Structure 1
């Protein structure tokens, strides 16, 4: 867990970015702040000093601490409502093309959502892998358990429990990343031609997966606060959908985090309509608040929520270790889950388990979250400055590091994507985040790399 002063500083910082605390506003004195929060004077001082180090607070001699709010006045993206009906994903070839180009090594990485190598604890990870190999047993070098190594599953159980999520080791299946986890679950619980409810704009990789599995989609509108649960309930009741594919915590590309009340309601709707929720929680540990939000799974009493995730966004996109977690309701499918799952590299599993057990992963997360918060804020500021002559709307994510830009309707983001390719710049056009070209004037940018001069120049070129 984060230190108390870090948690308080993050809470104050969020109020500043949300405009709840205004530029030039005086903060309570250290003593008053300590009394209000019921903390020691030293903790209050550490909190203010951290805010000052981030450039969000300044000190006036003999006057106290004052807010130094970033000057950012820009509206968040707004998308019109639309009718829902079951349909195929129509742009699979374009999805595949964009995925391939988004990871080109010699391009500027504003496309694929991935962390900069500078934010990855490479040395700690290397030591954990070496230590895991040193202490491994001979049987670790034979065919491994297709459900995943018990040591890693035990590590995940204890790691999640620390954040208030309790899942049995026997319910965890280790996979080669989050997308393979989603694939196994979808293939086991649904069939070709079945419909899946997805809020859009939605991560294009999920839509590509559904298209490749020949599943239809039923879109419901998403917005910067989440999505309408009445609409979700209506489609659960009337669309014939077999499952919903949802991200409750820091959805890609919009970055929203559903309230606990909404998560509980979704779990209740799943039970009421006997509709499975396949929950992709891959960004949960990349929130800007020091405390990790709970997933929908936490409120699932009837066993309709399948919890999926990986460390690819919180640790490294190259570290292909993920999971899905079944419930007692799905015990009869266990053999099918195991049969469809692909064995994961044992040393990688053991290395991650060591990283968790020695608390290096927890330390990494505590350091990563404030860095991401500050980095995303820097991107949003620079984008607003670069696009100052354009009517642009910019998402304000609550976590994660994807940024969604909505440009004037006259802008075709696919044309922009092809132009950016000629400049060796990777972006993802909005057209692949839903159907009917309804997001054709939007683009998604990756803010996982530090805002270098090279990236600033790339943003200037796009503007």
Structure 2
């Protein structure tokens, strides 16, 4: 009788210090990467593979669990363990937004909290002061007074950097694209969190890079798996969101931040830190950016102002490590010459007036109330088997669904009732996390949150999901 492993070589070095389960997982991962094990292939049962390799069952259980955490396989109780499905042909996916629906998918803040009056006043002030000069091209690196204001802003977040290392960019996505352009070449390995922001996945895939997802825990990346992958790969960069990560809402511990910096120095890779929302804290816990701990110039820091000010502002900054400074400047110039001069000058005045402190405090209060409304509704209306962790800030909740329904299926069912969620498969290069969904309260009011969660709860209960699941670790 043929076996899916007939053409796969698993040679165990029983005298090696490397655990047998790690050797088995590595061999199977290589077979999946090379195509020897095709997508959706059912792997041998735990008992049969243990007998074939002359190891105990626990060794195979551990190997399969490691592969599942790394996104290589998925398992279904009673059916077995399967190779991950083939990734979709497209590198990006679109979420349909129904007119007048309840929108739990958008991470864009609602307009009522935008500092419109302040920006209207400051726009007029810029036009009165600078006239037509405000509409001309600026230096590619950014308007010098704004870079100086940004330097002061960064100091308030614990980041000290020379002004010549600060580049003004047209939003956070451009920062990610610039990192991809100067660091990723076809065939290079890029590490990302698993799960992660789909816009980053698309950017790195467009460069022909190979993406390796490092499983994310509630306090940061799984360091054991990260070290294991570093033994197999030499990544050019690791793309991370240490504070209120998208989609999970998790934040790194100080210990894991330092461990990541140590590993980057040891293995000579850059860290690309996407800080899109660290100011939006609800619990008054200080969460400094990873860059604030970067004493060895290993972190390319990207800061977007779209979520904390206004999405249409399309301004942000990047701090470039010295070896990348010229490359970032050249890539920015070739990308769009320079960011809007009018908006740069306006943001400069806004930062210098210090009015953003009051705006941030207002946003914290506003979204903390929405978060609490969402948590209360989830506890009241969803089946108890749905698992989630209350975030300390940010705009997202990451929910694990009970067995019997996937995130994509729930998305389709909710869409029929004009409730929009984002399936977990949206946040992985290989379409994994199908038992998860992201629920964002950025664009939904408190009454909408309650109504939408009620609808989700009814749909889940109608699916008659089993009442036993494994606890989250």
Q: TM bucket by the smaller chain? A: 0.7 to 0.9
Structure 2 counterparts to residues 232-271 of structure 1, below 5 A: 232-271=226-265
1:173 aligns with: 167
User: Which SS does the other structure have where 2:94 is aligned?
Assistant: helix
Tell whether 2:354 aligns with 1:359: yes
2:343 aligns with: 348
2:103 aligns with: 109
Structure 2 counterparts to residues 445-460 of structure 1, below 5 A: 445-449=439-443, 451-460=445-454
Tell whether 2:380 aligns with 1:385: yes
**Equivalent-residue separation in structure 1 for 2:453 and 2:91 (angstroms):** 23
Q: Is the 8 A contact 1:243 1:278 kept in 2?
A: yes
Which runs of no fewer than 5 residues in structure 1 stay unpaired?
1-77
CA-atom RMSD, angstroms? 2.6
Q: Is the 8 A contact 1:253 1:444 kept in 2?
A: yes
**Given the superposition, is the C-alpha separation of residues 83 and 456 from structure 1 closer, same or farther in structure 2, using an over 3 Å criterion?**
closer
Q: Is the 8 A contact 1:88 1:216 kept in 2?
A: no
1:127 aligns with: 121
Tell whether 2:315 aligns with 1:328: no
* Equivalent of residue 82 in structure 1, options 69, 87, 108: 69
Which deviates further from its counterpart, 180-189 or 210-219?
A: 210-219
Shift of 1:144: 1.3
Greater RCO between the two (CA within 8 Å, min separation 6)?
A: 1
**Equivalent-residue separation in structure 2 for 1:415 and 1:191 (angstroms):** 36
Shift of 1:81: 4.9
**Given the superposition, is the C-alpha separation of residues 92 and 159 from structure 1 closer, same or farther in structure 2, using an over 3 Å criterion?**
farther
**Equivalent-residue separation in structure 1 for 2:307 and 2:290 (angstroms):** 19
Give the number of the structure whose alpha-carbon radius of gyration is greater.
2
Q: Is the 8 A contact 1:188 1:336 kept in 2?
A: no
Q: Is the 8 A contact 1:263 1:295 kept in 2?
A: no
Tell whether 2:202 aligns with 1:214: no
**Equivalent-residue separation in structure 1 for 2:254 and 2:104 (angstroms):** 32
Q: Is the 8 A contact 1:163 1:291 kept in 2?
A: no
**Equivalent-residue separation in structure 2 for 1:280 and 1:322 (angstroms):** 11
2:137 aligns with: 143
User: Which SS does the other structure have where 1:93 is aligned?
Assistant: coil
Shift of 1:367: 2.1
2:52 aligns with: none
Q: Residues 265-287 of structure 1: CA distance to partner in whole angstroms, max 9, x if unpaired?
A: 21221111110111111111112
**Equivalent-residue separation in structure 1 for 2:123 and 2:229 (angstroms):** 46
TM-score (structure 2 length as normaliser): 0.74
TM-score (structure 1 length as normaliser): 0.76
**Given the superposition, is the C-alpha separation of residues 341 and 303 from structure 1 closer, same or farther in structure 2, using an over 3 Å criterion?**
farther
Q: Is the 8 A contact 1:112 1:446 kept in 2?
A: yes
Shift of 1:97: 2.0
**Equivalent-residue separation in structure 2 for 1:449 and 1:206 (angstroms):** 22
Shift of 1:264: 2.1
**Equivalent-residue separation in structure 2 for 1:324 and 1:348 (angstroms):** 17
